[in-house]
A and B are shown apart, each in its own frame.
Chain A
């Protein structure tokens, strides 16, 4: 069987196309249409009209955030129980599965025998994290999620890129963190790695505020 030959026909330029000037005018027509449409729309927006027609595709970033997909992986957070303690049971699955090895967990004994363990330290080094989302996939307790929608992670030092349990449990927190509001015993960077808090405090505050709905943490 002979090789099949396919003739590719190059489009011949017509006389008007070779003359170039009509083509320039065609191009100018397109750019001018955009120019005047957007100019008029910007003017109309100033007067509060035609707001539904966008005049530009720009998102004015710090003031205006890009809409994120619901499955978008943004900065991590730790979900909490009703008494404001982490859902995390310190099983170390996320630390084990993490391909970047950016998670550090120090587990301790939980007073509730059904829970067994909880983290007294939970650090994520965002300078190392690759945002693969494996930690979220692997967690049996739905204790870590990547749904805060926080994208502005830049920091001036590597140290500032490390998140500890305060920031992970309260995504509203930003560095520098000066006071600690966590009641359960944990190792706190603020006090220089000292153990702080007790389960009695947690119980007391849970009784005083009464049962709370599942806190989203945001």
Chain B
């Protein structure tokens, strides 16, 4: 019993460690990637004992600065809610990671099986979406509790945007659930391991390309980053966290990055085969041209984790690239895209998928 608990704690610690570090690194990635795109060098001055390491210490310096800054609460603001809002944001973004499977079963020497997933839930997908939806509370509370008209308008914008796009997001993955016939993310990834004609892996992007595009767009809108950063719009329209300073503001920023990683994890799990490596079965590689390369269970699992991590990192890179490429939407364009573009498209995708499944007779 104690062992089970320790294993779960270790898994949770591993996931939190990975996610929080990646989120911290995102500040560095954001600076350096934008610098490379814009022919600049990027922040490179923070140094410890003269070592600069490509400006990696700027993330540390940022954290130090955030923690030592004065924490200002506006007069007349609801102090409790004002303090609670950033915690809501970060908490719900972080707990959603519990249901993401980042590797296949690990078989220990004594036959014990460890699922590389913090909690095994049958309806993991529903859990993830529930947590992401609850994240809206952090945003609306931040706007409401600040006693600032700009903040509450920003909060309303954010809420409207997140709720609108959550619908398109939810409907877009219905097709995926129908194709693989499960809401258990671990099973869903396992189901993506099959091959079409022995050559093409049966990943979500192959089965549901339209859903993939809709999901990516709606998910980007969920993260509240450019081109969908109307809730924040720090330079001119002012967002829900205008009255936050110090680490409370930092937590909102962290939430943005964590949500980006969350979305990258979801896109990987749902559409790019999660921890699947092409042609890799639990006992080793089976190439379609007849070659075989057998590996042990440990190597197999580690390859899976590496594959998952790589895919997530690539998605993070793509999101960052999009963030530094596209200008912001106007609000009516945003709503039009969500309600008149993505939502009908997602519904049509579900209908077409259902029809095809009936004709083919159901894949799963």
A25 CB to nearest chain B CB (Å):
10
Also in contact, A21 and B322, with CB within 8 A (given A38-B39, A56-B35): no
- Give the residue of A24, A28, A32, A57 whose beta carbon is less than 8 angstroms from that of B39: A57
The answer to whether A34 touches B36 (Cβ under 8 A) is: yes
The CA of A13 and the CA of B320, in the complex, are separated in Å by 27
- A residues 1-58 in Cβ contact with B at 8 Å: 21, 24, 27-28, 30-32, 34-35, 38-39, 42, 55-58
At the interface, is chain A mostly helix, strand, loop or mixed? helix
Q: Is A181 an interface residue when CB atoms closer than 8 A count as contact?
A: no
Interface string of B312-326 (1 = CB under 8 A from A): 000000000110111
Q: Is B340 an interface residue when CB atoms closer than 8 A count as contact?
A: no
The answer to whether B322 touches A60 (Cβ under 8 A) is: no
B330 CB to nearest chain A CB (Å):
14
Contacts of B322 in A (CB 8 A): 24, 28
The answer to whether B36 touches A35 (Cβ under 8 A) is: yes
Number of interface residues of B (CB under 8 A): 14
Also in contact, A24 and B326, with CB within 8 A (given A32-B321, A35-B321): yes
The CA of A62 and the CA of B149, in the complex, are separated in Å by 43
The answer to whether B213 touches A39 (Cβ under 8 A) is: no
A136 CB to nearest chain B CB (Å):
36
Complex: chain B residue closest to A32, CB-CB: B321
Q: Is B200 an interface residue when CB atoms closer than 8 A count as contact?
A: no
Contacts of A28 in B (CB 8 A): 321-322, 325
A152 CB to nearest chain B CB (Å):
17
Q: Is B38 an interface residue when CB atoms closer than 8 A count as contact?
A: yes
Contacts of A60 in B (CB 8 A): 41
B205 CB to nearest chain A CB (Å):
15
The answer to whether B40 touches A27 (Cβ under 8 A) is: no
Contacts of A30 in B (CB 8 A): 325
Also in contact, A56 and B325, with CB within 8 A (given A34-B36, A35-B36, A39-B36): no
- Chain B interface residues toward A at CB < 8 A: 33, 35-41, 213, 321-322, 324-326
- Given A38-B36, A57-B40, 6 additional A-B pairs, CB 8 A: A24-B322, A28-B321, A31-B324, A34-B39, A35-B33, A35-B36
Closest 4 CB pairs of A and B: A58-B41, A38-B36, A27-B325, A31-B325
